[in-house]
Structure 1
Amino acid sequence: MQSQEVEAFRVLATAYCDFIDSSRSFDEEESFKKLLRIISQLYTNALDLPEVEVEEEHLPDVDFPLPEVDIKHHNVYTEIFDPYHAETPVNGCLDDDIMGIYSDLKKGLLLYEQGHGIEAVWEWKFGLEEHWGEHATSAIRALHSIKFI
C-alpha cells in the first residue's frame, strides 16, 4: 500500500527503530529531546494513516530481537491510565514505553519490507489505537517532564 501518509509514517518508524537500535543508553538531554521529537511526530503522523481491513488470523508471523535500552534514573514515572476515571496512580516505565513502541513499529516495518503493505498499515494503525499509542502518550508526558519541568 503506497500513499504519501504511509510513506511519511514508514520513514519516521524507520528513523525511530534505527535510533533505538543505535542508542542503548539514554541519559543525556539531547537523547531525550530527540526521543520526544520523534515519538511526537510518530503519534501525529499515525493519525493520518488510512483505515484498512485485515483478518488478524491471516497476519504473517514476524520475529525479531528486541534491543536493550537503559534509561538510567529517569525510567520510572507516575501516571494515571484513564484521566476520566478516579484511579490510583501507578508507576510507568519509560523503557517499557520505548520498547512497546519499537516492537509494534518494527513488526510493521518488517511486514512492509516483505511486501505486506496493507498488513503493515493495519499493524501500525491497530497498535496506535490499542497498544503503542498509549505507550507513546505516556512517554511524551514523561519526556516532557524530563525536558521542561
Structure 2
Amino acid sequence: MVAPSLDEFRTAAEQYCALFTREEPIEARDIWTFRDLLLRLIFHITAVESHPHGTDHDDDQPGMEGYYRAVKKLEALPFNLYRVVFDPHDFEEKDEPVTGSLSDDLADIYGDLAGSVALAQAGHVDDACFYWALLYRSHWARHAVSALAAIEIYRTDRCESTE
C-alpha cells in the first residue's frame, strides 16, 4: 500500500487551489476533479499531521472576498444543495437533517488550503503543515467528508462516470 506523503498532499492542495485561481471557469465535469483531489487530501493528511510544525509565519487566507469569488466560480457544478446530519455520532440528540452546500464546502476548503500553499511555496513548509493540520481538524475535515459523500452518492445514484 502507498504511504501518506507530504509531497503528495502539497501537490493535491496546489492543484485544488489552482482550480479557483485559473482563468478558465469551473465546469460541471470538474466535480470529478474535486472528488479525486478530496480523496487525495484526506488520504495524505496524516503525513501533514506527523510532519514537524512551525509557527514563525502567518497563514494569509483569502478572506471573505476570496470566499465569495470561490463560491461564484462553482455555479456550474451539477448540484449544490444536499442533506446531511450534522453529528453522526451523537445518538442522544434527535438531529433533523440539515441542508449542506457543496459550493460552501469546496470554497471553505479552498480558503483553508490557500494560505498554507503560499507558505509552502515560499519555503515555509513546517508553518504550512501547522496550519493545514490545525484547519483540517478544526474546520475543513467536516467540509471535505460532507462534500465527498454528496459527490459520491450523486455519482453512484446516477451511474455517472468520472471521465
Which band: TM-score by shorter chain? 0.7 to 0.9
Gaps of 5+ in 2: 158-163
Matched, 1:98 2:106: yes
Matched, 1:13 2:13: yes
Question: Match of 2:99, SS?
Answer: strand
Asked whether the 8 Å contact 2:51–2:126 carries over to 1, the reply is: no
Report the CA distance shift for 1:24/1:132 in structure 2 as closer, same or farther (over 3 A).
farther
Q: Partner residue of 1:45?
A: 44
Gaps of 5+ in 1: none
From 119, 133, 140, the equivalent of 2:148 is 140
Normalising by structure 2, we get a TM-score of 0.76
Once the two structures are superposed, the pairs formed by residues 40-119 of structure 1 within 5 Å of their partners are 40-49=39-48, 50-54=50-54, 59-60=57-58, 62-64=60-62, 66=66, 67=70, 68-69=72-73, 70-71=75-76, 74-85=79-90, 86-119=94-127
Asked whether the 8 Å contact 1:105–1:124 carries over to 2, the reply is: yes
Identity of aligned residues (%): 24
Report the CA distance shift for 1:59/1:88 in structure 2 as closer, same or farther (over 3 A).
farther
Asked whether the 8 Å contact 2:80–2:102 carries over to 1, the reply is: yes
Asked whether the 8 Å contact 1:32–1:147 carries over to 2, the reply is: no
How many aligned residue pairs are there? Answer: 142
Q: In 2, Cα distance between the equivalents of 1:38 and 1:137?
A: 12
Q: Partner residue of 2:160?
A: none
Q: CA RMSD in A?
A: 2.2
Report the CA distance shift for 1:80/1:36 in structure 2 as closer, same or farther (over 3 A).
same
Read off the aligned partner of 1:82 and give its amino acid letter: D
Report the CA distance shift for 1:26/1:90 in structure 2 as closer, same or farther (over 3 A).
farther
